[in-house]
Structure 1
């Protein structure tokens, strides 16, 4: 029994010693590392060893003299490391290559990139601050963030990034940490720091936890003075030191010691922690067992520099147990002081060798045994790639925190009844937020010189979104509400339902005395474009909120508070890589668009691509007309032409069929009295919608209304002003006889049938439904479409008669019609027949931008469900998206176009699945959806400008060529 106990005790003792002796700088090839370090140590003089202790600041935005000064320091004092600051990545790489070539021993390159290279360098990528990341619950995303920073830093030759900040920010008044901290919960800070460290060190960049022993609970800035951390050992152990202990267990490579006064750890309150043997050697190295590299904080900061002369400070720093002097002052004097201390035994050679050996081990760990000059090739793509953008979107989506949601106003569900206003508070940009809100529905921006004016303007609205926007320029910018803003917020909230969205530090909420009247509070943490974008998407339920508050807000909200909002399955917006598509391949559409414009196939166009419910490509090209006066914008409207069939006529047909008003076997004679005694009476709805009903392709109704001599609109049928007898508006100053609709219906009844049953595309069935829908739903067809579909979808630009709702400046002209209406058609439907129905028709008449077309197509793709609302039963969508006569070479479904059966046809690129569906339009429009790849594609143009004879776009199959590009952009899954 005694032998067994002894064995157990021996094992425990071994385990204890092993855990204390974990060396984070040790590589797997320990032998190779030891040989390399030993070989360099043996060849080094005392001067060269002393030089290894210095990490000197350098800047890539300074002149040639500065570069020469650094070269001289390397040669004269054998400097072991450099820390880079402001400049550009290109210049930093060039300087690094020069400096590395100059140095006998490879230099350890440091950098202060807490939220990425952008913290110091121009033209680089900026990620969120730690406080934002502290709200994320999925630690794997933080590890991915660390990997990305490691990749970017390594790419430009950096070996140690002075991150993460692991200060536990308990004091909201902390002037220097704040947003740089993961929050006030030590466990959350530790978990985030561990994940970050694992990620970054996996890319061979040393992580550096700072600022030991903890800079979070103070209202002083160590750059300016010596802050005091006046807490008991028990408190320090459970809060400030907790993240460090956890990080040491997980292989943290280095630590930065801050300039702090910590009376419980260092009796001399005037002695900064960075100079304290009690703190650095006795606590950090001995008691906590840290074996990694120890840096001081910057020694030019007042928290250290005010203590003594630079040379004395630098000597005391090494005596305290630090390994590297970061940004030391007076290098010549410091070098001499250290050399003297070694000579007289104040610092032993063993102590010097201890730090030098650790530094060399770190250099080997970082890959400096085989340093090769850093290349500039593909640099921009490597450090600003789509992978960074995709990660940024994921981080923000998982950070944004919903703190309150009374009356379930968040996310906004019913767009039919919603009348939404937006009011801006704060002094920073809000463009991305407002634009994205308006991608979901109409949101009016309300402003005024005084509160009374704003309150008056808000009267018609039933929901107000208040955005509080503060500068995202740096982590230290002021985030406080002004007294005026606080008054405006409370007064608006007293009378209106409010969603408050805070694009600033969560600490800004501390100024709000009461949240009683504010129904919903969303914290977006930063006013970046991506934060604005994601936040707007969450407000409308395209994305859900997942974040948890990393700090406390008085007694109102506690650490860990947060509500997971519901997802309504509206279109979201993001980068192609997030849905398995290639940005570079999609950019080929840009070249295709330029070809269209340069070849004058169309003066302009819009293209949208969505996959898996996310819009990942949405661009506008060219101008409204050849005059190049108005550039096409994403918000501008195009005449959809026959795409109207599946977005205007078909939805109402599907709704009525689902409601049991008719079946697919119902005959046209039963549906339409005008056909009841004609040769069309026995054609079934299924046959007609499949274009297999022997109906004529179209009827040129307008020809009979032209004067036989002048070939212009006849006075018998038209007036230039409306009246009771001439009420149908065909175009500007052109009104058709009110009773002429009956003549058009009769023309359909009288039209001859095809001699045999075969596939023949025909729009006649969609004309006939106008009268049917008006009588069935007791309102005009356009009102039914808007009420049942467009309004609840938030498709505000999907409309008939757009000139009644929108400025003509945003409506793209179609043709210069010189054969019928004798004018440039702008906001008046191009299709002559639809025009003679007053612009409202199931065959043509709809206008829209690409975004709103995509909403309808996504609803179909989701089998009738969108935005938390079911528009159709799934079986209804499947029923209409089915070929019933494919054996007879009819490729069409019911109303929907389908991929070609005959290879000679060009309905699609030939690269989409049989389940896919869509439609094309005469004016140069096209939309397609594929359930198999979850793709939605929209192409809008005015290819009939200047006239319908402009057929280049059709002959070149541009729309399906673009479809092939989109298909090719799907990244094959492993």
Structure 2
């Protein structure tokens, strides 16, 4: 008879106790589940049954005394579960395994992990807060977030995550919810919560909607007092209860009941967690919820102040709750419930109803086949690359542009911008600033110190655009987020004289502090101050990404929920993870070992390495030092002598412009562009043959030889002085000046030089001396100024320049050689190539310095058929024309200026690139290559010539650069 009653009760619980929904705790193998639940329940004593109603707080950071108390509670009161709080993942896993081993019935493990395990544990992953997720339109991303968090919980042995928070935060002054809410719009909150719940429960972790019946519209904290909700029943039904109705119908596993005073639902003044009209009458009967019902923590003042210890537990159970969460005193609570049972105030059916639901949940999460938490790779498994990738995608979709007068964002026309960054707040914006620096020249102006506004104003006079970031702590969603009064005054004052882009790395309610916004051109809400949020926001400001988010809440009358101004990306380089562009991180990281071998084997003192695919930089690392004996490690903003990369990064783009303008074409002869060549043996040499290295021109000329003393082999006094003068004005090295008129000798030597005896491919620097003269004569400007104004400044290639010793600190310039044959000094900031040095450092074939990031910008512009950053620099047809080999055979692979892949066995590439790819290499160890078919850019910068360029080129002999290229292609996923 008892079995029959039990079976009927299980059936009622499982299928038809309430008509509106089905039991979300049922497992797929429902008959096996029923058999296990009945068997366990029938074997329990009354004390054990009541113990199952309790979930006790445990911290893995607690001392041994506290942990012994927990062991005692498990042994004595047979509690049903544990809610873990502060600690670390490995400590928690070990403790959990110990406690589970002690428990007769496996413990149901819960945690507050609303934005991930990091809500409670160190060394674990923090996903964006719900307010951030509420700004995202794509609910599939929210589902992925729930799944990732669920996977983390499951890996740590957590069965219940007390998430998602479905409170509708309609009160900006809410002290406890705020960022934990998806927003103020009930439909948006419901949609996001449903997606989050689905992802998490699909991962095998049961969800929990909280805080029933709704904690979003209050300015009080139920941890400290009993907040009152004064709305009508109709309002609560249509707003606060709306998410619960939808989630219950979608399989919600559990609900947490808050400690609130809701007179319209229960006029008695009893906290909602202890209210039968609310818990049973509304949640169970009206909404038909059959999942587990948890009280909020019974230690919170909203409940604890209402009645004596133990009596609160009994009241909560009588109200209809299944699990007493964090009771003040388990022993007294159990005693009260047992006493009520023995008196007949609590029936067996009522007790069985809750206990069997708890057992159903235990079966559903696999506790009938309990296994300890594995410790191997635990921390690594809780901090995955895939988590970073998801976080990045979430921020790309969340960051919201709420004001954009004059379409200032994305920033374009970089050549017209004089940019400054001002960081406000009590947290670092260094990641944001460094990310901004990737795109163009920008200076940091210090602020946020007392009485410095006049100094700040004075410093900003040199700039026309100011990016202001409000950076507050990202440690928790409850940290302060507002502007100070001084900061508001500063912003308003700066906006009157400058274009301002204001970026808030806090929740949107900070916008309410801004009263005079008409002078501010652009305002972004980036929601959080995490590194990825800062990097992503910089990419949106410069148009590597478009803005996509919408405000999840209103911020005063000026900014309304749902608003967001979309922008379109302008195809600047972004920065991401390899897997997001179809590459394998582990395979790509094999590059590290090759680069380290090159440095450790003294093939080069240091290296900058960059790989970009599909417009995203996905590998950017530095190796080694400036010199073998020095202490200066290679940094991202250090610059290298690019040597022959100058040909395709300086002379060639200017020539391509002239070809587009009709000034020249590929068949134009030298005698046409430079009349003095009419009487030379080169009169019929064309631009096409010359740049294809198929014009019988000599490879090079050691021009400096003739300027050395024939006896000492040092610079002759006839040609050099140690001090600058009008007659000696060509600075070839520090304190070494060549005779001014000697520059004219170089073109004459080239013009009068003999041609090679037969027509064949022969690489030559001569075309770039010739073209430099033509380009400068045509524009009546120096090559140095032309390339800056036409390309480098608009591209934001602010680390790319000739003669860097004139413009930046020598500490940021990588030296190329200790010259013991010409200039007899360390060459740092002066071009290594002697012919370029004799042209005042500005050669058509050599002389440009840069870093890997800037080189990648120019190569990406080529890859995008002349388009970059919203500007068409060159026509696609022009790029294709110059990226064509017109004299291809087994000996000549060259395009017009560009090097091309080898046709035979050996050549400049790994042999694994497409034939449409192109690039160049340089004498100092530099190399860059772009492949349109794989949308791939590769940059390798080195100073292999330091300390001396004499001897064998080990980088070339050991195929270091092409071996790295091969590894890049092997990292591409099929």
TM-score bucket (shorter structure):
over 0.9
| Whole-angstrom distance in 2 between the partners of 1:605 and 1:620 | 6
Mapped partners of 1:246, 1:111: distance in 2 = 23
> What is the CA deviation profile of residues 890-946 of structure 1, one whole-angstrom value per residue up to 9, with x for unaligned ones?
1111111111111133x1111111111111111111111111111111111111111
Give TM-score scaled by structure 1 length: 0.97
Match of 1:10 in 2: none
State the SS of the aligned residue for 2:650: helix
> Which residue matches 1:587?
589
Tell whether 2:263 aligns with 1:245: no
Instruction: State the secondary structure of the residue aligned to 1:206.
Output: coil
Deviations 1:701-754 (A, max 9, x none): 111111110000111111112222211111111111222222111221232222
Match of 1:946 in 2: 947
1:76-115 to 2 correspondences below 5 Å: 76-115=76-115
Instruction: Describe the shift of the 1:16–1:766 C-alpha distance in structure 2 as closer, same or farther (beyond 3 A).
Output: farther
- State how far apart, in whole Å, the 1-side matches of 2:67 and 2:895 are: 71
**CA offset digits 1:446-504 (Å, max 9, x no partner):** 23643222222222221111111111111111111111111111111112111111111
**Alignment counterpart, residue 693 of structure 2, candidates 670, 691, 694:** 691
For residues 259-316 of structure 1, give each alpha carbon's deviation from its aligned partner in whole angstroms, at most 9, with x where no partner exists.
11111111111x1111111111110000000111111111111111111122101111
Determine helix, strand or coil for the equivalent of 1:537: helix
CA–CA distance in 2 between the matches of 1:370 and 1:884? 71
Q: Check conservation: 1:674, 1:746, Cα contact below 8 A.
A: no
The structural deviation recorded for 1:36 is 2.1
C-alpha RMSD of matched pairs (Å): 1.4
Structure 1 equivalent of residue 128 of structure 2: 128
Please give the alpha-carbon distance, in whole angstroms, between the structure 2 residues aligned to 1:455 and 1:541: 28
Whole-angstrom CA distance in 2 between matches of 1:18 and 1:344: 28
**Higher mean C-alpha displacement, 735-744 vs 401-410:** 735-744
- Displacement of 1:62 in angstroms is 2.1
Aligned pairs (5 A) from 1:155-304: 155-269=155-269, 271-304=270-303
The question of 1:75 aligning with 2:71 is answered no
Q: CA deviation at 1:676?
A: 2.4
Superposition TM-score, scaled by structure 2 size: 0.97
More displaced stretch, 367-376 vs 237-246: 367-376
Q: Distance in 2 between matches of 1:19 and 1:886?
A: 79
Is the CA contact (8 Å cut-off) linking 2:18 and 2:285 kept in structure 1? Answer: no
Q: Which residue of 2 aligns with 1:3?
A: none
| Structure 1 match to 2:6 | none
Give the match for residue 851 of structure 1: 853
**Aligned-residue offset at 1:16:** 11
**1:541·1:867 contact (CA, 8 Å) conserved in 2?**
yes
Distance of 1:16 and 1:71 partners within structure 2: 39
Displacement of 1:961 in angstroms is 1.2
Tell whether the 8 Å contact from 2:16 to 2:22 is kept in structure 1 after alignment: no
SS at structure 2 position matched to 1:474? coil
Match of residue 328 from structure 1? 327
2:889 aligns to what SS in structure 1? helix
Partner SS state of residue 929, structure 1: strand
Greater displacement, 368-377 / 877-886? 368-377
How many angstroms does 1:880 deviate by? 0.8
CA contact (8 A) 1:223 1:303 kept: yes
**Aligned equivalent of 1:903:** 905
Distance in 2 (alpha carbons) for counterparts of 1:862 and 1:185: 42
Give the 3-state SS of the residue equivalent to 2:57 in structure 1.
strand
- Are 2:479 and 1:492 aligned? no
Map 1:373-384; keep pairs closer than 5 Å: 373-384=372-383
Corresponding residue of 2:388:
389
Equivalents in 2 of 1:816, 1:310: separation in Å?
A: 82
Secondary structure of the equivalent of 1:787? helix
Q: What SS does the corresponding residue of 2:626 show, helix, strand or coil?
A: coil
2:31 is aligned to 31
Q: Partner residue of 1:11?
A: none
Q: Is 671-680 or 556-565 further displaced after alignment?
A: 671-680
Match of 2:753 in 1: 751
Deviates more, 1:315-324 or 1:458-467: 458-467
Structure 1 unpaired stretches of 5+: 1-14
1 CA distance for matches of 2:571 and 2:608? 24
What is residue 560 of structure 2 aligned with on the other side?
558
Q: How many residues align?
A: 956
The whole-number CA distance in structure 2 between the counterparts of 1:64 and 1:688 is: 81
Q: Aligned partners of 1:689 and 1:415: how far apart in 2?
A: 31
Contact kept in structure 2, 1:674 and 1:745, CA below 8 Å:
no
Aligned match of 1:365: 364
Between the aligned partners of 1:283 and 1:435, the Cα distance in structure 2 is 53
SS for the counterpart of 2:421 is strand
1:920 matched to 2:921: yes
Per the alignment, in what secondary structure is the counterpart of residue 641 of structure 1? Answer: coil
Structure 2: how far apart are the matches of 1:704 and 1:400? Answer: 62
- The match for 2:5 is none
Which residue of structure 2 lines up, in the alignment, with residue 505 of structure 1? 507
Does 1:833 pair with 2:832? no
Structure 1 stretch displaced more, 350-359 or 662-671: 662-671
- The aligned counterpart of 2:877 is 875
Q: Does 1:456 align with 2:458?
A: yes
1:934 lines up with 2:935 in the alignment: yes
Which residue pairs with 2:410 in the alignment? 411
CA distance in 2, matches of 1:83, 1:418: 54
Q: Distance in 1 between matches of 2:226 and 2:956?
A: 74
Following superposition, the deviation at residue 31 of structure 1 comes to 2.0
**How far apart, CA to CA, are the structure 2 residues paired with 1:897 and 1:251?**
61
Take 1:664 and 1:587, find their aligned partners in 2: how far apart are those partners? 42
Other structure's SS at 1:676 match: helix
In 1, distance between residues paired with 2:711 and 2:898?
Answer: 41
Alignment of 1:686-765 (within 5 A): 686-765=688-767
Deviates more, 1:194-203 or 1:495-504: 495-504
Local SS of the residue matching 1:803: helix
Alignment-derived partner of residue 818 in structure 1: 820
Q: Write out per-residue CA displacement over residues 593-622 of structure 1, whole angstroms, 9 at most, x where no aligned residue.
A: 221221111111111111110111111122
Greater displacement, 867-876 / 376-385: 376-385
CA distances 1:304-349 after superposition (whole Å, capped 9, x unpaired)? 1111122101111111111111111211111121111111111111
Q: Could you tell which deviates more after superposition, 447-456 or 659-668?
A: 447-456
Q: Is the 8 A contact 1:758 1:888 kept in 2?
A: no
- The residue that corresponds to 1:441 in the other structure is 440
Q: 1:185 to 1:610 in 2, by over 3 A?
A: same
The answer as to 2:476 corresponding to 1:474 is: yes
**Unmatched 5+ stretches in structure 2:** 1-14
Query: Do the aligned residues in 2 keep the contact of 1:604 with 1:942 (CA within 8 Å)?
Result: yes
Q: Which residue number in structure 2 is paired with residue 9 of structure 1?
A: none
SS of equivalent residue, structure 2 residue 281: helix
Q: For 2:544 and 2:674, how far apart are their aligned partners in 1?
A: 41
Q: Which whole-Å CA distance do the structure 1 matches of 2:896 and 2:18 have between them? A: 73
Q: Which residue is equivalent to 1:958?
A: 960
8 Å Cα contact 1:109-1:160 kept in structure 2: yes
> Is the deviation greater in 766-775 or in 854-863?
766-775
SS in 2 for 1:440: coil
Deviation at 1:18? Answer: 8.5
Describe the shift of the 1:99–1:307 C-alpha distance in structure 2 as closer, same or farther (beyond 3 A).
same
2:22 corresponding residue in structure 1:
22
1:861 alignment partner in structure 2? 863
| Rounded Cα–Cα distance in structure 2 between residues aligned with 1:428 and 1:652 | 45
Matching residue of 1:8: none
Shift of 1:668: 2.4
**CA displacement 1:21-63 (0-9 Å, x = unmatched):** 3221122222222222222222222222111111111111123
Deviates more, 1:92-101 or 1:290-299: 92-101
